[in-house]
Protein backbone atom coordinates (compact mmCIF):
# COMPACT_ATOMS: atom_id res chain seq x y z
CA UNK A 1 0.00 0.00 0.00
CA UNK A 2 1.48 3.34 -1.05
CA UNK A 3 1.29 6.62 0.83
CA UNK A 4 -0.78 8.02 -2.02
CA UNK A 5 -3.55 5.52 -1.35
CA UNK A 6 -4.05 6.62 2.27
CA UNK A 7 -6.27 9.66 1.51
CA UNK A 8 -8.59 7.44 -0.54
CA UNK A 9 -8.82 4.90 2.27
CA UNK A 10 -9.55 7.62 4.81
CA UNK A 11 -12.24 9.10 2.56
CA UNK A 12 -13.92 5.73 2.04
CA UNK A 13 -13.88 5.07 5.78
CA UNK A 14 -15.43 8.47 6.46
CA UNK A 15 -18.06 7.87 3.78
CA UNK A 16 -18.99 4.54 5.38
CA UNK A 17 -19.19 6.15 8.82
CA UNK A 18 -21.39 8.98 7.54
CA UNK A 19 -23.55 6.47 5.70
CA UNK A 20 -24.06 4.43 8.90
CA UNK A 21 -24.91 7.56 10.90
CA UNK A 22 -27.31 8.69 8.18
CA UNK A 23 -29.07 5.32 8.28
CA UNK A 24 -29.59 5.45 12.01
CA UNK A 25 -30.83 9.05 11.80
CA UNK A 26 -33.27 7.99 9.13
CA UNK A 27 -34.36 5.02 11.24
CA UNK A 28 -35.13 7.28 14.20
CA UNK A 29 -36.98 9.68 11.92
CA UNK A 30 -39.07 6.81 10.58
CA UNK A 31 -39.94 5.65 14.09
CA UNK A 32 -40.90 9.18 15.12
CA UNK A 33 -42.99 9.79 12.01
CA UNK A 34 -44.80 6.49 12.46
CA UNK A 35 -45.51 7.28 16.11
CA UNK A 36 -47.11 10.58 15.09
CA UNK A 37 -49.01 9.18 12.11
CA UNK A 38 -52.77 8.74 12.13
CA UNK A 39 -52.42 5.34 10.46
CA UNK A 40 -50.59 3.93 13.49
CA UNK A 41 -53.36 4.82 15.91
CA UNK A 42 -56.11 3.74 13.52
CA UNK A 43 -54.22 0.48 13.16
CA UNK A 44 -53.79 0.12 16.92
CA UNK A 45 -57.52 0.56 17.47
CA UNK A 46 -58.20 -1.99 14.74
CA UNK A 47 -55.87 -4.43 16.52
CA UNK A 48 -57.73 -3.80 19.77
CA UNK A 49 -61.09 -4.53 18.14
CA UNK A 50 -59.80 -7.49 16.11
CA UNK A 51 -58.08 -9.20 19.03
CA UNK A 52 -61.07 -8.55 21.29
CA UNK A 53 -63.38 -10.20 18.78
CA UNK A 54 -60.90 -13.04 18.34
CA UNK A 55 -60.99 -13.86 22.06
CA UNK A 56 -64.76 -13.46 22.33
CA UNK A 57 -65.50 -15.75 19.40
CA UNK A 58 -62.73 -18.34 19.67
CA UNK A 59 -63.33 -18.87 23.39
CA UNK A 60 -67.06 -18.88 22.79
CA UNK A 61 -66.70 -21.65 20.20
CA UNK A 62 -65.61 -24.02 22.96
CA UNK A 63 -68.17 -23.10 25.61
CA UNK A 64 -70.65 -25.74 26.75
CA UNK A 65 -72.98 -26.00 29.75
CA UNK A 66 -71.76 -27.94 32.75
CA UNK A 67 -72.06 -31.65 32.07
CA UNK A 68 -72.56 -31.06 28.35
CA UNK A 69 -70.51 -32.59 25.55
CA UNK A 70 -67.74 -30.21 24.46
CA UNK A 71 -67.34 -29.51 20.74
CA UNK A 72 -64.90 -31.71 18.85
CA UNK A 73 -61.43 -30.56 17.85
CA UNK A 74 -62.66 -30.56 14.24
CA UNK A 75 -65.37 -28.03 15.08
CA UNK A 76 -62.96 -25.82 17.01
CA UNK A 77 -60.18 -25.88 14.42
CA UNK A 78 -62.48 -25.10 11.49
CA UNK A 79 -64.34 -22.39 13.40
CA UNK A 80 -61.17 -20.63 14.49
CA UNK A 81 -59.65 -20.86 11.02
CA UNK A 82 -62.72 -19.36 9.34
CA UNK A 83 -62.99 -16.65 11.97
CA UNK A 84 -59.39 -15.57 11.35
CA UNK A 85 -60.03 -15.49 7.60
CA UNK A 86 -62.95 -13.13 8.20
CA UNK A 87 -61.18 -10.78 10.62
CA UNK A 88 -58.02 -10.58 8.48
CA UNK A 89 -60.12 -9.75 5.41
CA UNK A 90 -62.01 -7.09 7.35
CA UNK A 91 -59.01 -5.32 8.89
CA UNK A 92 -56.06 -5.98 6.59
CA UNK A 93 -56.37 -2.59 4.90
CA UNK A 94 -56.34 -0.77 8.25
CA UNK A 95 -53.70 -2.48 10.37
CA UNK A 96 -52.68 -5.60 8.49
CA UNK A 97 -54.89 -7.55 10.91
CA UNK A 98 -52.03 -9.03 12.91
CA UNK A 99 -54.30 -9.72 15.95
CA UNK A 100 -51.31 -11.58 17.37
CA UNK A 101 -48.09 -10.22 18.93
CA UNK A 102 -46.24 -13.11 17.29
CA UNK A 103 -47.25 -11.91 13.81
CA UNK A 104 -46.27 -8.35 14.73
CA UNK A 105 -42.85 -9.55 15.88
CA UNK A 106 -42.36 -11.52 12.65
CA UNK A 107 -43.32 -8.48 10.57
CA UNK A 108 -40.88 -6.33 12.55
CA UNK A 109 -37.86 -8.60 12.18
CA UNK A 110 -38.55 -9.01 8.45
CA UNK A 111 -38.85 -5.26 7.88
CA UNK A 112 -42.60 -4.91 7.44
CA UNK A 113 -43.27 -2.61 10.39
CA UNK A 114 -41.48 -0.21 12.70
CA UNK A 115 -40.43 -0.98 16.26
CA UNK A 116 -42.83 1.57 17.70
CA UNK A 117 -45.70 0.00 15.74
CA UNK A 118 -44.72 -3.42 17.09
CA UNK A 119 -44.85 -2.17 20.69
CA UNK A 120 -48.11 -0.26 20.37
CA UNK A 121 -49.83 -3.03 18.45
CA UNK A 122 -48.79 -5.58 21.08
CA UNK A 123 -50.16 -3.43 23.91
CA UNK A 124 -53.48 -2.88 22.11
CA UNK A 125 -53.72 -6.57 21.21
CA UNK A 126 -53.34 -7.55 24.86
CA UNK A 127 -55.86 -4.91 25.97
CA UNK A 128 -58.27 -6.17 23.33
CA UNK A 129 -57.80 -9.75 24.51
CA UNK A 130 -58.61 -8.82 28.10
CA UNK A 131 -61.64 -6.79 27.01
CA UNK A 132 -62.97 -9.50 24.70
CA UNK A 133 -62.56 -12.21 27.33
CA UNK A 134 -64.18 -10.06 30.01
CA UNK A 135 -67.08 -9.26 27.71
CA UNK A 136 -67.65 -12.95 27.03
CA UNK A 137 -67.62 -13.74 30.76
CA UNK A 138 -70.23 -11.04 31.31
CA UNK A 139 -72.44 -12.29 28.45
CA UNK A 140 -72.24 -16.04 29.03
CA UNK A 141 -74.35 -17.83 31.65
CA UNK A 142 -72.31 -18.87 34.68
CA UNK A 143 -72.95 -22.52 33.83
CA UNK A 144 -71.12 -22.06 30.50
CA UNK A 145 -68.06 -20.13 31.70
CA UNK A 146 -65.92 -22.98 32.99
CA UNK A 147 -62.21 -22.14 32.63
CA UNK A 148 -63.08 -19.29 30.21
CA UNK A 149 -60.82 -20.56 27.46
CA UNK A 150 -57.70 -20.63 29.62
CA UNK A 151 -55.12 -22.52 27.56
CA UNK A 152 -53.05 -25.12 29.40
CA UNK A 153 -50.75 -27.99 28.32
CA UNK A 154 -52.31 -31.42 27.98
CA UNK A 155 -52.15 -34.03 30.74
CA UNK A 156 -48.60 -35.24 31.36
CA UNK A 157 -47.08 -32.54 29.13
CA UNK A 158 -44.16 -30.60 30.62
CA UNK A 159 -43.70 -26.86 30.21
CA UNK A 160 -40.74 -27.45 27.89
CA UNK A 161 -42.70 -29.81 25.66
CA UNK A 162 -45.61 -27.37 25.45
CA UNK A 163 -43.26 -24.48 24.70
CA UNK A 164 -41.61 -26.41 21.88
CA UNK A 165 -45.00 -27.25 20.40
CA UNK A 166 -46.05 -23.60 20.55
CA UNK A 167 -42.78 -22.55 18.95
CA UNK A 168 -43.22 -25.07 16.15
CA UNK A 169 -46.78 -24.13 15.23
CA UNK A 170 -46.05 -20.40 15.42
CA UNK A 171 -43.00 -21.00 13.25
CA UNK A 172 -45.24 -22.54 10.58
CA UNK A 173 -47.77 -19.72 10.87
CA UNK A 174 -45.23 -16.90 10.48
CA UNK A 175 -43.14 -18.76 7.89
CA UNK A 176 -46.24 -19.23 5.72
CA UNK A 177 -47.49 -15.67 6.28
CA UNK A 178 -44.19 -14.03 5.38
CA UNK A 179 -43.90 -16.32 2.36
CA UNK A 180 -47.33 -15.29 1.08
CA UNK A 181 -46.62 -11.55 1.31
CA UNK A 182 -43.21 -11.81 -0.35
CA UNK A 183 -43.35 -8.81 -2.74
CA UNK A 184 -41.26 -10.55 -5.41
CA UNK A 185 -43.47 -13.62 -5.71
CA UNK A 186 -45.98 -13.83 -8.55
CA UNK A 187 -47.24 -17.36 -7.96
CA UNK A 188 -49.43 -16.74 -4.88
CA UNK A 189 -53.08 -16.86 -5.93
CA UNK A 190 -56.34 -17.07 -4.09
CA UNK A 191 -57.23 -15.61 -0.69
CA UNK A 192 -54.28 -15.03 1.62
CA UNK A 193 -56.58 -14.60 4.68
CA UNK A 194 -58.15 -17.98 3.92
CA UNK A 195 -54.73 -19.64 3.65
CA UNK A 196 -53.70 -18.08 6.98
CA UNK A 197 -56.91 -19.38 8.55
CA UNK A 198 -56.28 -22.88 7.20
CA UNK A 199 -52.73 -22.77 8.57
CA UNK A 200 -54.12 -21.97 12.01
CA UNK A 201 -56.58 -24.87 11.71
CA UNK A 202 -53.76 -27.26 10.81
CA UNK A 203 -51.75 -26.03 13.80
CA UNK A 204 -54.68 -26.60 16.16
CA UNK A 205 -55.09 -30.18 14.88
CA UNK A 206 -51.40 -30.78 15.52
CA UNK A 207 -50.87 -29.19 18.93
CA UNK A 208 -54.27 -29.34 20.60
CA UNK A 209 -53.43 -32.27 22.87
CA UNK A 210 -49.88 -31.03 23.56
CA UNK A 211 -50.05 -27.31 24.26
CA UNK A 212 -53.63 -26.40 23.36
CA UNK A 213 -52.64 -24.92 19.98
CA UNK A 214 -52.53 -21.28 21.03
CA UNK A 215 -49.80 -19.65 18.84
CA UNK A 216 -50.99 -16.23 20.05
CA UNK A 217 -49.64 -14.66 23.27
CA UNK A 218 -52.55 -12.21 23.46
CA UNK A 219 -55.10 -15.03 23.21
CA UNK A 220 -53.45 -16.68 26.23
CA UNK A 221 -53.10 -13.35 28.07
CA UNK A 222 -56.80 -12.41 28.09
CA UNK A 223 -58.15 -15.48 29.95
CA UNK A 224 -55.13 -15.47 32.28
CA UNK A 225 -55.92 -11.92 33.40
CA UNK A 226 -59.67 -12.47 33.79
CA UNK A 227 -59.29 -15.77 35.69
CA UNK A 228 -56.18 -14.70 37.62
CA UNK A 229 -54.32 -17.88 36.66
CA UNK A 230 -50.87 -16.81 35.47
CA UNK A 231 -48.76 -19.79 36.47
CA UNK A 232 -48.10 -21.17 32.96
CA UNK A 233 -48.54 -18.05 30.88
CA UNK A 234 -44.80 -17.91 30.09
CA UNK A 235 -45.25 -20.97 27.84
CA UNK A 236 -47.56 -19.04 25.55
CA UNK A 237 -45.27 -16.02 25.29
CA UNK A 238 -41.79 -17.50 25.02
CA UNK A 239 -42.70 -20.34 22.66
CA UNK A 240 -44.74 -18.35 20.11
CA UNK A 241 -42.41 -15.33 20.08
CA UNK A 242 -39.33 -17.50 19.50
CA UNK A 243 -41.13 -19.44 16.76
CA UNK A 244 -42.30 -16.19 15.15
CA UNK A 245 -38.78 -14.74 14.97
CA UNK A 246 -37.26 -17.94 13.57
CA UNK A 247 -40.08 -18.55 11.09
CA UNK A 248 -40.11 -15.00 9.76
CA UNK A 249 -36.34 -14.67 9.43
CA UNK A 250 -35.78 -18.13 7.96
CA UNK A 251 -38.05 -17.44 5.01
CA UNK A 252 -37.01 -13.81 4.62
CA UNK A 253 -33.26 -14.39 4.73
CA UNK A 254 -32.93 -17.69 2.86
CA UNK A 255 -36.08 -18.40 0.86
CA UNK A 256 -37.48 -15.07 -0.31
CA UNK A 257 -37.93 -14.74 -4.06
CA UNK A 258 -35.02 -13.34 -6.01
CA UNK A 259 -31.42 -13.35 -4.89
CA UNK A 260 -30.32 -14.30 -1.39
CA UNK A 261 -30.88 -11.36 0.95
CA UNK A 262 -28.82 -12.50 3.92
CA UNK A 263 -28.14 -8.93 5.12
CA UNK A 264 -31.40 -7.28 4.12
CA UNK A 265 -33.09 -7.37 7.52
CA UNK A 266 -30.13 -5.68 9.25
CA UNK A 267 -30.49 -2.37 7.45
CA UNK A 268 -32.52 0.31 9.21
CA UNK A 269 -33.44 1.67 5.78
CA UNK A 270 -34.98 -1.62 4.70
CA UNK A 271 -38.26 -0.61 6.27
CA UNK A 272 -40.19 2.46 7.26
CA UNK A 273 -43.76 3.63 7.49
CA UNK A 274 -43.38 5.56 4.26
CA UNK A 275 -41.65 2.93 2.13
CA UNK A 276 -42.85 3.26 -1.44
CA UNK A 277 -41.67 1.16 -4.37
CA UNK A 278 -41.88 4.19 -6.66
CA UNK A 279 -40.21 6.65 -4.32
CA UNK A 280 -37.29 8.33 -6.05
CA UNK A 281 -36.16 10.15 -2.92
CA UNK A 282 -35.89 7.23 -0.49
CA UNK A 283 -32.09 7.27 -0.59
CA UNK A 284 -31.96 10.53 1.32
CA UNK A 285 -34.63 9.47 3.79
CA UNK A 286 -37.43 11.63 2.43
CA UNK A 287 -40.66 10.78 0.74
CA UNK A 288 -42.16 12.17 -2.41
CA UNK A 289 -45.37 13.24 -0.77
CA UNK A 290 -47.28 10.04 -1.48
CA UNK A 291 -48.21 8.63 1.90
CA UNK A 292 -49.04 4.95 1.63
CA UNK A 293 -48.76 4.29 5.35
CA UNK A 294 -52.52 3.84 5.61
CA UNK A 295 -52.06 0.42 4.05
CA UNK A 296 -50.43 -2.50 5.79
CA UNK A 297 -48.52 -5.69 4.94
CA UNK A 298 -51.33 -7.82 3.53
CA UNK A 299 -52.36 -5.10 1.09
CA UNK A 300 -50.38 -2.11 -0.18
CA UNK A 301 -51.43 1.18 -1.72
CA UNK A 302 -51.69 -0.40 -5.17
CA UNK A 303 -54.16 -3.04 -3.89
CA UNK A 304 -51.67 -5.87 -4.22
CA UNK A 305 -50.51 -8.18 -1.47
CA UNK A 306 -46.96 -6.79 -1.29
CA UNK A 307 -45.82 -5.30 2.02
CA UNK A 308 -45.53 -1.52 2.01
CA UNK A 309 -42.74 -1.20 4.55
CA UNK A 310 -40.03 -1.92 2.01
CA UNK A 311 -39.17 -0.59 -1.36
CA UNK A 312 -37.69 -2.50 -4.25
CA UNK A 313 -34.31 -0.73 -4.00
CA UNK A 314 -33.36 -1.77 -0.49
CA UNK A 315 -30.61 -4.08 -1.81
CA UNK A 316 -28.63 -1.04 -2.97
CA UNK A 317 -28.68 0.53 0.47
CA UNK A 318 -26.73 -2.20 2.26
Mean pLDDT, rounded, for 190-194: 92
Q: CA-CA distance, 216 to 206, in Å (whole number)? A: 15
* pLDDT(78) > 80: yes
How is the chain split into domains, by residue range?
Answer: 18-317
Residue 265 pLDDT > 60, yes or no? no
State residue 140's pLDDT score.
86
Q: How far, in Å, CA of 111 to CA of 105, rounded?
A: 10
The helix/strand/coil state of 25 is: helix
Q: What is the pLDDT of residue 292?
A: 35
Return the pLDDT at 67: 74
- Provide, rounded to the nearest whole percent, the portion of the chain with pLDDT above 70: 74
Question: DSSP alpha helices (H): ranges in 62-158?
Answer: 73-91, 101-109, 115-139, 142-145
1-5, 77-81, 134-138, 262-266: the lowest-pLDDT one = 262-266
pLDDT band at 307 (very low <50, low <70, confident <90, very high): very low
* Homologous superfamily of domain range 18-317: Glycerol uptake facilitator protein. (1.20.1080.10)
**Higher per-residue confidence, 195 vs 2:** 195
Confidence grade of residue 298 (pLDDT, cut at 50, 70, 90) = low
Q: Residue 92 CA to chain centroid, in angstroms?
A: 12
Mean pLDDT of 281-290: 41
Top mean pLDDT of 58-72, 208-222, 264-278 is at 208-222
Q: In this predicted model, which residue has the larger pLDDT, 189 or 314?
A: 189
Amino acid sequence: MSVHSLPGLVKRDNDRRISRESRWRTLLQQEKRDLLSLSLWRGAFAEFVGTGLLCTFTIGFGMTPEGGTPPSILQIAISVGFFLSVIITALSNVSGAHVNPGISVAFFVTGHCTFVRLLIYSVFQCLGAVTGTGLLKYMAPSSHVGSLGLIQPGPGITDTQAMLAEGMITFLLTFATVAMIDPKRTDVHGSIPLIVGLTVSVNIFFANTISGGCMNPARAFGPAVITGRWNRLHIYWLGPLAGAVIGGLLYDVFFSAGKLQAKRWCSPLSYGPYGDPDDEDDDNGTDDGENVSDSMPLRNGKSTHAPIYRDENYETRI
